[in-house]
Amino acid sequence: MDIVLLHRQKNKMKEGAIPLRFLVSLILAIVIFLPVILVLSKCSTLTAEGKLKKSLTDLLEAASKLKPDEVDAVLIFIPAGYEIHFGAVGCKGLIWVKRGGKEIFRLEKDDVPFSSFSIESDKGDKYIALQIKKLSPKGNETCGIVTINKQK
């Protein structure tokens, strides 16, 4: 009987100590769930980028359907921390999307040359209304420039 009592006292934990099983379970939970949390946060970034890409593609389509001197308004979604730059090379319209100074993606469309314009979203996701207008070609220009103005 004394041997059993001594054995129980040896195995008795100190008061306030964390059991080893609990620590192992906690570490396993972190190792298993941390990647899941990271993947889910990446997916939310991907959906924000997807919304941005869709709204910019819609803007390109709307701009390509404009006739000279026609005006349209487009609502675009900009996630926090993104910059959008509009420009042109010849008659090709270009939209660059950057985040943290690195280019994320680029969209191009023929016959939709944009005037130089840029927008950024610093503090949070937001929707911005843009007015697009296709100007008549001047002189020896083969395509009219699409101007972009931020609406208030």
Tell me the pLDDT of the chain (152 aa) as tens digits. 555 555 555 555 555 566 788 888 888 888 888 888 877 766 665 688 888 999 999 999 999 999 988 999 999 989 889 999 999 998 899 999 999 889 999 999 998 899 999 998 878 888 899 999 999 888 777 888 999 988 87
The domain in which residue 100 lies consists of 19-150
Q: Facing residues of 82 across strands? A: 99
Is residue 14 included in any domain, yes or no? no
What is the C-alpha to C-alpha distance for residues 52 and 46, in angstroms, rounded to an integer?
Answer: 10
Is residue 9 included in any domain, yes or no? no
Q: What is the pTM of this model?
A: 0.68
Is residue 64 included in any domain, yes or no? yes
Is residue 105 included in any domain, yes or no? yes
Q: How many residues does the chain have?
A: 152
Is residue 145 included in any domain, yes or no? yes
The residue whose two tokens read 């950057």 is 98
Is residue 67 included in any domain, yes or no? yes
- Structural domains counted in the chain: 1
